[in-house]
Amino acid sequence: MQTIKKILVIDSDSVCVFILKQNFLLTELSPLWVHRSNATDAIAYLTQNDMPDLIFLDPVLPDMQQSQVFEKLNILDVFNKTKVSILTTYPEKEFGMLGNEFNILRKFSKPFHKNQLKELLHDLKAA
Protein backbone atom coordinates (compact mmCIF):
# COMPACT_ATOMS: atom_id res chain seq x y z
CA MET A 1 0.00 0.00 0.00
CA GLN A 2 1.16 3.48 -0.78
CA THR A 3 2.15 5.28 2.41
CA ILE A 4 -0.21 8.12 3.26
CA LYS A 5 1.64 10.50 5.55
CA LYS A 6 -0.21 13.72 4.76
CA ILE A 7 -3.74 14.42 3.52
CA LEU A 8 -4.91 17.83 2.37
CA VAL A 9 -8.66 18.48 2.43
CA ILE A 10 -9.77 21.44 0.32
CA ASP A 11 -13.37 21.91 1.37
CA SER A 12 -15.44 24.69 2.90
CA ASP A 13 -17.43 22.08 4.86
CA SER A 14 -15.65 21.44 8.19
CA VAL A 15 -18.11 18.65 9.06
CA CYS A 16 -16.88 16.70 6.05
CA VAL A 17 -13.30 17.03 7.30
CA PHE A 18 -14.33 15.69 10.70
CA ILE A 19 -16.11 12.70 9.13
CA LEU A 20 -13.13 11.91 6.92
CA LYS A 21 -10.78 11.98 9.91
CA GLN A 22 -13.09 9.75 11.95
CA ASN A 23 -13.32 7.20 9.16
CA PHE A 24 -9.56 7.11 8.70
CA LEU A 25 -9.17 6.39 12.41
CA LEU A 26 -10.76 3.02 11.64
CA THR A 27 -7.88 2.14 9.30
CA GLU A 28 -4.21 1.41 9.87
CA LEU A 29 -3.40 4.87 8.54
CA SER A 30 -2.67 7.84 10.81
CA PRO A 31 -1.78 10.70 8.47
CA LEU A 32 -1.23 14.35 9.22
CA TRP A 33 -4.41 16.21 8.23
CA VAL A 34 -4.27 19.66 6.67
CA HIS A 35 -7.50 21.54 5.96
CA ARG A 36 -7.97 24.59 3.77
CA SER A 37 -11.49 25.98 3.38
CA ASN A 38 -10.93 28.03 0.22
CA ALA A 39 -8.97 27.77 -2.99
CA THR A 40 -6.69 30.73 -2.33
CA ASP A 41 -5.40 29.27 0.93
CA ALA A 42 -5.08 25.81 -0.60
CA ILE A 43 -3.03 27.10 -3.54
CA ALA A 44 -0.79 29.05 -1.15
CA TYR A 45 -0.31 25.93 0.98
CA LEU A 46 0.58 23.80 -2.05
CA THR A 47 3.13 26.32 -3.31
CA GLN A 48 4.84 26.67 0.09
CA ASN A 49 4.86 23.06 1.34
CA ASP A 50 5.66 19.54 0.21
CA MET A 51 2.94 17.92 -1.84
CA PRO A 52 0.53 15.83 0.27
CA ASP A 53 0.09 12.13 -0.49
CA LEU A 54 -3.65 12.54 -1.02
CA ILE A 55 -5.99 15.47 -1.64
CA PHE A 56 -9.72 15.45 -1.04
CA LEU A 57 -11.07 18.29 -3.15
CA ASP A 58 -14.48 19.88 -3.22
CA PRO A 59 -14.12 22.17 -6.25
CA VAL A 60 -17.20 24.14 -5.15
CA LEU A 61 -15.40 26.76 -3.07
CA PRO A 62 -16.44 30.25 -1.94
CA ASP A 63 -13.60 32.16 -3.58
CA MET A 64 -13.17 30.61 -7.05
CA GLN A 65 -15.16 29.06 -9.86
CA GLN A 66 -14.72 25.30 -10.26
CA SER A 67 -12.88 25.70 -13.56
CA GLN A 68 -10.45 28.16 -11.95
CA VAL A 69 -9.75 25.72 -9.11
CA PHE A 70 -8.85 22.98 -11.59
CA GLU A 71 -6.81 25.40 -13.71
CA LYS A 72 -4.74 26.62 -10.75
CA LEU A 73 -4.14 23.09 -9.47
CA ASN A 74 -3.14 21.99 -12.96
CA ILE A 75 -0.62 24.84 -13.23
CA LEU A 76 0.99 23.47 -10.05
CA ASP A 77 0.97 19.99 -11.67
CA VAL A 78 -0.95 18.66 -8.68
CA PHE A 79 -2.79 15.98 -10.68
CA ASN A 80 0.49 14.38 -11.73
CA LYS A 81 2.33 14.79 -8.43
CA THR A 82 -0.25 13.30 -6.04
CA LYS A 83 -3.56 11.45 -5.77
CA VAL A 84 -6.70 13.61 -5.92
CA SER A 85 -10.23 12.56 -5.01
CA ILE A 86 -13.23 14.80 -5.65
CA LEU A 87 -15.75 15.05 -2.86
CA THR A 88 -18.69 17.36 -3.51
CA THR A 89 -22.35 18.01 -2.79
CA TYR A 90 -23.20 18.11 -6.48
CA PRO A 91 -24.88 14.94 -7.77
CA GLU A 92 -22.80 12.73 -10.06
CA LYS A 93 -24.84 13.69 -13.12
CA GLU A 94 -23.96 17.37 -12.55
CA PHE A 95 -20.27 17.00 -11.76
CA GLY A 96 -19.60 13.70 -13.55
CA MET A 97 -17.53 15.31 -16.29
CA LEU A 98 -15.84 17.72 -13.90
CA GLY A 99 -12.15 17.06 -13.82
CA ASN A 100 -12.27 14.20 -16.33
CA GLU A 101 -9.30 15.65 -18.18
CA PHE A 102 -7.23 15.34 -15.00
CA ASN A 103 -5.92 12.34 -13.12
CA ILE A 104 -8.70 11.94 -10.53
CA LEU A 105 -8.49 8.85 -8.34
CA ARG A 106 -12.18 8.74 -7.37
CA LYS A 107 -15.26 10.98 -7.19
CA PHE A 108 -17.71 11.01 -4.29
CA SER A 109 -21.01 12.75 -3.78
CA LYS A 110 -21.76 13.99 -0.28
CA PRO A 111 -23.00 12.50 1.89
CA PHE A 112 -20.62 9.63 1.31
CA HIS A 113 -20.62 6.20 2.90
CA LYS A 114 -17.69 4.62 4.72
CA ASN A 115 -17.67 1.84 2.11
CA GLN A 116 -16.72 4.45 -0.48
CA LEU A 117 -13.67 5.32 1.61
CA LYS A 118 -12.83 1.62 1.82
CA GLU A 119 -12.95 1.51 -1.98
CA LEU A 120 -10.63 4.51 -2.10
CA LEU A 121 -8.18 2.75 0.21
CA HIS A 122 -8.36 -0.27 -2.07
CA ASP A 123 -7.51 1.99 -5.02
CA LEU A 124 -4.53 3.35 -3.10
CA LYS A 125 -3.30 -0.17 -2.38
CA ALA A 126 -3.40 -0.91 -6.08
CA ALA A 127 -1.52 2.32 -6.96
Q: How confident is the model over 10-30, as pLDDT tens digits?
A: 999 998 888 888 887 767 777
Q: Of 33-37, 84-88, 92-96, 111-115, which gets the smallest average pLDDT?
A: 92-96
- Determine the topology of domain 6-126 in CATH: Rossmann fold (3.40.50)
Band of pLDDT at residue 63, cut at 50, 70 and 90: very high
Domain boundaries, given as residue ranges, for the chain: 6-126
SS3 of 96, please?
coil
Alpha carbons 86 and 35: distance in angstroms, whole number: 15
pLDDT at 9 over 80: yes
Alpha-carbon distance of 16 to 87, in angstroms, equals: 9
Count other C-beta atoms under 10 Å from residue 16's C-beta.
21
Whether 69 shows a pLDDT value over 60: the answer reads yes
Q: Where are the beta strands (DSSP E) in the chain?
A: 6-10, 32-36, 54-57, 83-88, 106-109
Query: Is pTM beyond 0.95 here?
Result: no
* Contact (CB, 8 A) for 36 and 45: yes
